Amino acid sequence: TSFGYKHVPEEEKSKLVGNVFSSVASSYDVMNDLMSVGLHRLWKDRLASNDPHPQYHFITLGLPYCFLPLLRLISKLNPFPGMKHLDVAGGTGDVAFRVLDRINSVSHRAMQGTLTDIEEDTQIYVCDINSNMLNVGKKRASERGYKEGHRLSWIQGDAEALSFEDGSMDGYTIAFGIRNVTHIEKALSEAYRVLKRGGRFLCLELSHVDVPLFKEIYDVYSFSVIPAMGELVAGDRQSYQYLVESIRRFPNQEKFSQMIKDAGFEGIEYENLVGGVVAIHSGVKL
């Protein structure tokens, strides 16, 4: 491309991605905060939230209860007690903790005693290809007081060949992960396979900005500032160069929606955040 990206053969991509994340694992959080000026926290909150898509607010306004089933269908993830949830490429636990916190807040709001049995069934599985990233997540889980195995399971595995049974999950999330898998279609069809009927797929990913002027500013930021920041903070310019190039190669919002549809999902929507710097795509398995 005009940005000097050299094509990486498919067979080398997994290895390259593995190396990138091994080398960035320790500085991962700092770099995320710096590059996104802290916004990645809000984007992940949004991913795990049960707020509906902004354009649906008017539908439910004033009619909260009778429209609750509709609200559920079109809401983002709607975590609930007893949920079986899989967060893929979730090494650091950022999304899993949010889903769990959201479930716990639902439980605490409910009448005491009635939910305990259901709550016990809650299980969040964090799957990541890279053990260094999983170790960061496990460490953070214990710092947060989560006991290992209790509601949180950490599994090393590939998004393209999940070790979970067909129709076993209520929810599937992947945040800033699908861009790195070698065959996106395989990851999507695996997501579809492991979800139950009615299960929701949500993907948070760096996407394409299509807002004049902002697009130009964003290009300068990503191609000049981010690699320089990577060199300065993480001592690794190449990994961050790769990051920026992989964002540009990733299909745009519409193309990615079509890929999700091709995997079998229905009701596909996407929400652009910060003008498309990131997008949350969602779909349901019917």
Which residues contribute to the site for ligand SAM (CB under 6 A)? 17, 21, 88-92, 94-95, 128-130, 133, 158-160, 175-177, 180-181
Contact 87, 175 (CB under 8 A): yes
Q: Is 203 helix (H, G, I), strand (E, B) or coil?
A: strand
Nearer to ligand SAM, 95 or 169 (CB): 95
210 in a labelled binding site: no
Nearer to ligand SAM, 74 or 76 (CB): 76
Nearer to ligand SAM, 159 or 194 (CB): 159
Which of 91, 52, 75 has its CA nearest to residue 175? 91
Q: In 181-275, where does DSSP find H-type helix?
A: 184-194, 214-220, 226-229, 237-249, 253-262
User: DSSP label at 82?
Assistant: T
Task: Give the shortest CB-179-to-ligand SAM separation in angstroms.
Answer: 8
116 in a labelled binding site: no
Residues 6+ apart with CB under 8 A from 83: 99, 103, 122, 123, 124, 170, 171
Task: Give the shortest CB-111-to-ligand SAM separation in angstroms.
Answer: 34
236 in a labelled binding site: no
Which of 284, 51, 94 has its CA nearest to residue 172? 284
d(CA 257, CA 283): 9
d(CA 266, CA 61): 25
Nearer to ligand SAM, 72 or 186 (CB): 186
Strand partners, 280: 204, 271
Task: Give the shortest CB-23-to-ligand SAM separation in angstroms.
Answer: 11
**Radius of gyration of the chain from its Cα atoms, rounded to whole angstroms:** 19
99 CB burial (10 A radius; 0-12, 13-18, 19+) = buried
Which of 189, 136, 132 has its CA nearest to residue 166? 189
170 in a labelled binding site: no
Task: Give the shortest CB-190-to-ligand SAM separation in angstroms.
Answer: 10
Task: Give the shortest CB-87-to-ligand SAM separation in angstroms.
Answer: 7
Nearer to ligand SAM, 92 or 107 (CB): 92
Nearer to ligand SAM, 123 or 130 (CB): 130
Task: Give the shortest CB-21-to-ligand SAM separation in angstroms.
Answer: 4
Annotated binding residues for S-adenosyl-L-methionine, written as ranges, equal: 92, 128, 158-159
Annotated binding residues, written as ranges, equal: 92, 128, 158-159
